[in-house]
Amino acid sequence: MTGLSPPVTLRGMPVQVSDVDLLRRRVLNVVGHELRTPVSTLSGLARELETCDDDGKRSELAAAVARSARRLDRLVDDLLLAAGITTLVPVEEAQAVDLVATARSLWTGPGDAISGCAVALARPQVARRALTELLDNATIYGEAPFSITAWATGGRAIVEIANGGPAISDEELALALELFFRGERAVTTQAGLGLGLAVARTLVEADGGDIALRAGPAGGVIAHLELPAP
Amino acid sequence: MSDPLRVLVVDDEDDVRLLLRLQLETYGHSVTGEAADGQAALDLCRADPPDAVILDLLMPRMNGFEVIPKLRTELPAVAIVAYTAVAGDFVRNEMRRLHVPLVLKTANFAPLDVALHAAVADLRDRSTGPAR
């Protein structure tokens, strides 16, 4: 026993204990913030449901309770995945997934924004989750024009999702796929954990693919998703 | 039950808006409209000014911090109550500076009801009170 504590490292790099403490407090703050809204909403909806005697309102309330519960469920899944606990990763087998059809089923913007074709060999839930995160990210934080372009090359199925809007700094783009990172615009406009893109990348990497972000030529962001082709 | 108010609900979460609408109605208030972002809130206020706005702070397009000065300038007779999940020092100080009452999101509507009445009464007192 030497009395010395082992050096604290993060991804193999030495860090100060004060940095770890700051990080821990930031993570707990974000998690607490994100849990509070669905928990308080769920609790309030349940109270209303208990006292409501209007059948129409009761079914509206029941649907809202179910939505809030699903949101909490997904939040907990994401936190477990972020913690490296992978028991919740879908156990389905990889199969041919039409990425364009999946994107069309998720996209709520103009249909002509989507072009090309690409079929991937992946777990359908992984492909769907990745496209959901990338499309949500584009529409929530970006602006028109949007384009979703798919193609296949060299045994890879690729989808790129481009949005307009203000230019994002290289520093922010480099961090955007990290756990708990929230961009400058996100912090003031949107509640969120900063987990979605990081979790999507973790899942996609497990299927032999990758997600990357780069700046658009005239502002905005281009998100690049690639997965193995069958 | 205290005086019913006409209230605009502003929150980007559908279920939070639904809950607030039902709670407001339970407390005898009427909802003039619902908005999911700051710009829609301003448009609805201009079209049909409510007594008060329940204003979420983190919203896409135009957030609550951006809405407050615009509402104050254009529609000074509309009371504002900020409604947020978690408020750190920055949010608390900013709302104090702007004289906007802040209520934390909980399942209990009573604190929000109190804050709405207080904010409306405060505005009415200012508009009818002696010039300072």
Give tens-digit pLDDT for A99-146: 999 999 999 888 788 999 999 999 998 999 899 989 988 888 888 899
Please answer yes or no on whether A190 and B60 come within 8 Å at the CB atom.
yes
Q: Do B85 and A36 touch (CB under 8 A)?
A: yes
ipTM: 0.78
Domain ranges in chain A are 8-87, 95-228
Which amino acid is present at A136? D
* pTM, full prediction: 0.67
Q: Which of A32, A57, A140 is closest, CB to CB, to B22?
A: A57
CA distance B69 to A57: 36
Partners of B53 in the β-ladder? B8, B80
Q: Do A67 and B59 touch (CB under 8 A)?
A: no
Class of domain A95-228: alpha beta
Is residue B7 a contact partner of residue B29, using CB atoms and an 8 Å limit?
yes
Which of B16, B18, B65 has the CB atom closest to A37's CB atom?
B16
Decide if B107 and A43 are in contact by the 8 Å CB cutoff.
yes
Tell me how far apart the alpha carbons of residues B25 and B6 are, in angstroms, rounded to a whole number: 10
3-state helix, strand, coil in chain A (%, to 5): 50, 25, 25
Q: What would the pLDDT profile of A151-194 be if each residue is shown by its tens digit? A: 999 999 999 999 998 888 877 777 777 766 666 556 555 556 66
Chain A residue at shortest CA distance from B90: A188
Chain A residues with CB-CB distance to B13 below 8 A = 37, 41
Q: Tell me if the domain spanning A8-87 has CATH number 1.10.3720.10.
A: no
B131 reaches A (C-beta below 8 A): no
Three-state DSSP at A107 gives coil
Mapped onto helix, strand or coil, the DSSP state of residue B123 is helix
